[in-house]
Amino acid sequence: MNRQVEIQHLGFRDYRETWDYQEQLFQGILDIKMKNRRNNTSLETPNYLLFVEHPHVYTLGKSGDMSNMLLSEKQLEAKGAVFYKINRGGDITYHGPGQIVGYPILDLDNFFTDIHKYLRFLEEVIIRTLADYGIKSMRSEGETGVWIDVGTPFARKICAMGVRASRWVTMHGFALNVNADLGYFDNIIPCGIRGKAVTSLNTELGKEQVDETEVRQKIQQHFLEIFEAEAVVASAAK
């Protein structure tokens, strides 16, 4: 089992371009697995963790409800945002500047074959990262992602998650609001959940800006610890 994870920092990149790149890596792992099965070989499959920041974009998962998008095409354009229907689980969400997005493209055969455990591990990565900043966050039963003040009238979501998996290979991932413009969430019913607010790390800390490079480093550290993995840093963004 290969528990090395190649870390790639893609910088500020278009959502569609990044989605296509994810698909390329995802398919590459599937091809190796199919070849192994066909030829009875045991070639190692790679694992990746992509960090990226996107321009303003709304995405709707395959089980999502279109009515949770509150803007018309013209209104989207006026806000400098785009919209995509995509093949992950979950409902509608927003990505944009000030948000750290992580896409783990893992062969879970290298780790464990349990999607629910995988999602709980991703949540734990974010929970531990926020704890480093003195913020107590948690899971909310039946609602994937990471929340603050669950079970109170002030419950608010700080990290959204949605994944796709095929033959135990994953793609898509998590989006942690760090310095995000929360006004963009007013244009959707986030994740299809009514009556619950969205928050950002800088808002919780009462700061204008939080160092995103530092947050990414903490996420990476906790990811490697929780998945018992070893980092292989890519020489340059792809």
CA nearest neighbour of 68 among 94, 87, 86 = 94
Marked catalytic residue, from 175, 191, 219, 229 = 191
CA separation, residue 116 to residues 168, 184, 212 (Å): 12, 29, 28
Strand order in the sheet with 92-95: 82-85, 57-60, 92-95
Distance CA 47, CA 7 (A): 9
Active site residue 159: no
Residue 143 to residue 60: CA distance in whole angstroms: 16
Closest CA to 61 of 94, 35, 28, 39: 94
C-alpha–C-alpha distance, residues 13 and 108, integer Å: 26
The answer to whether 53 touches 216, Cβ cutoff 8 Å, is: no
Residues catalogued as catalytic: 191
